[in-house]
Amino acid sequence: MQKPHSTPRIGVLISGSGSNLQAIIDHQKLHSNLYEIALVISNKADAFGLVRAENANIPTMVIDHTQYNDREAFDAKLQQTLEEAKIEFIVLAGFMRILTRGFTQHFLGKMINIHPSLLPKYTGLHTHQRALDAGDKEHGLSIHFVTPELDGGPVILQAVVKIDPNETETSLREKVHQQEHITYPLVIEWFALGRLSFKDNQAWLDQKILKQPQVLSKTIS
């Protein structure tokens, strides 16, 4: 994978609606010199995010995981596709596939994910319902570098939302989504500006280790 230059080529991986992809597209349109969304890949042919990408004239590709014998074969195709497209930074935006250790090691420091919980709480699925079931007062999202450990890589940024007494899974998901659409483009911008990096298994912003996760309200100025 090449080093970022002035306009890095970003690849976005999706599986579904792609509302985060839309937020990234909208952000990119406002800041067209910052980065290029060079390719959107979906493992599902009917993902609405593909329509969003096509509407924005972004090249798309479907790599249907059901057509591959195992995760290794699927990830090998994914890797080949990303490298052929000269992608420099990979953004997982609702990409609902567990990636192999080999794939995550290969792109270590060059791939981020957004997860709908305040990690390390609630890795995996059904995070909103699990937060409600636990009686949590707060929930949120985490953006992190991808490492072999599922939802376990160093956190770059979190945003917190309040859980109201009458909160439902749907309303909570919507609240988290709103924050996702603000924070994910911001973190990609940090990368494109050369402010964000990965070293010694840590996330760095402006040459400082992000020891404690950055929380949105404390970060945006």
Decide whether 4 or 94 has the Cβ nearer to ligand GAR: 94
- Candidates 124, 163, 164; CA nearest to 140 is 163
Question: If binding is defined by CB under 6 A, does position 110 make contact with ligand GAR?
Answer: no
- Encoded tokens for 163: 């859980």
Question: If binding is defined by CB under 6 A, does position 18 make contact with ligand GAR?
Answer: yes
Count of residues in the chain: 221
Please identify which residue in 91, 93, 159, 161 interacts with ligand GAR, judged by CB under 6 A.
93
Burial bucket for residue 137 (CB in 10 Å: 0-12, 13-18, 19+):
exposed
CA distance 25 to 159: 21
Among the residue ranges 16-24, 102-110, 156-164, 200-208, the one whose residues contact ligand GAR (CB under 6 A) = 16-24
- Candidates 188, 200, 197; CA nearest to 35 is 188
Contact 27, 56 (CB under 8 A): no
Q: Of all residues in this chain, which one has the CB nearest to ligand GAR in the complex?
A: 94
CA dihedral sign of residues 84, 145, 38, 95? positive
Question: If binding is defined by CB under 6 A, does position 114 make contact with ligand GAR?
Answer: yes
CA distance 162 to 136: 9
Please identify which residue in 4, 8, 11, 16 interacts with ligand GAR, judged by CB under 6 A.
16
Please identify which residue in 44, 115, 139, 175 interacts with ligand GAR, judged by CB under 6 A.
115
Question: If binding is defined by CB under 6 A, does position 11 make contact with ligand GAR?
Answer: no
Question: If binding is defined by CB under 6 A, does position 140 make contact with ligand GAR?
Answer: no
Question: If binding is defined by CB under 6 A, does position 153 make contact with ligand GAR?
Answer: no
Among this protein's residues, is 115 annotated catalytic?
Answer: yes
Question: Any idea which residues carry the catalytic annotation?
Answer: 115
Q: Give the residues lining the site for ligand GAR (CB under 6 A).
A: 14, 16-20, 49, 93-94, 114-116, 177, 180
